[in-house]
Each structure stands twice: as structure tokens, then as C-alpha cells.
Amino acid sequence: MKDSLKKFYEYLGSDEELMYYVRINVEWNEESFSKMKQVVRAVIKDYEEEDYYPKRFIIYFMREIPSIINILSHFTKCTEKELLLDGYTDETYLSMIAEKIEELKKLRWEFIKSLEA
């Protein structure tokens, strides 16, 4: 098993995994999102010369990323005190969430395009 895949599995098993975080805490977590992008892009890079991706990796993009997008699309206000103290309003928070949804869609598209190679 490649090191990038091990790190991906470790990320999935952690409390900081984005799906876990948005589902349980019902808040955005930029650190988790950054970590997710890092680990999935590392796997994509490591497997670019392979004929396949591991099944669990494919499932993440086909089931979990759309689920995260769905959860985020139902956010209605900012409840995280730290973000409110940083000057976010409900409107600016929801605007940021909309941007993150677009980033998730682009990341999923990166994965889909990598299947064509």
C-alpha cells in the first residue's frame, strides 16, 4: 500500500475528517478541508500511472463528497463562535460555504478527469 493511501485512510478514520466534522459539528472546518485536499491529491498523483484506484478511494468521491456538498447546502447560519468573532455574518458565512461547495465540486471533477488518463 502506498504511503499516500495510508495517510488517506488515517484521515478517514480521524475525528477531523470533513464528512465527520460537518455531519457531527454542523460547521465548516478549513483545516479538515485543507487536509482532505492534500491527502486526496497525493493519492491521485501516486496512482496516476496505475490502471485503477482503490475501491474505498472511489467511494469517497462518488458517495461522500456529494453527501458533504448536500449537508453544506443545507447550512443556514454561522454558529461557530470563533468565526463570528472573526467578523463573519450569516451572509458572509453562507457565501464562504457556497465557495467551498464549488471547490468540492472542482476537486471531484479533478478526480473524474484523472480516470480518463
> What residue segments make up the domains of the chain, in order of their start?
3-114
pLDDT at 26 over 90: no
Q: What pLDDT sits at residue 50?
A: 86
Residue-wise pLDDT tens digits, 55-99: 999 999 999 999 999 999 987 666 666 555 567 777 888 898 999
Q: What pLDDT sits at residue 82?
A: 58
**Average pLDDT score over the chain:** 87
Vertex 67: Cα angle to 109 and 50 (nearest 5): 40
- CB 60, CB 40: distance < 8 Å: yes
Of 115 and 43, the one with more pLDDT:
43
- Give the span between the Cα atoms of 107 and 92, in whole angstroms: 23
Q: What pLDDT sits at residue 49?
A: 87
- CB 94, CB 26: distance < 8 Å: no
DSSP secondary structure of the chain:
--HHHHHHHHHHTSTT-HHHHHHHH-S--HHHHHHHHHHHHHHHHHTTTSS---HHHHHIIIIIHHHHHHHHHT--S---HHHHHTT--HHHHHHHHHHHHHHHHHHHHHHHHHTT-
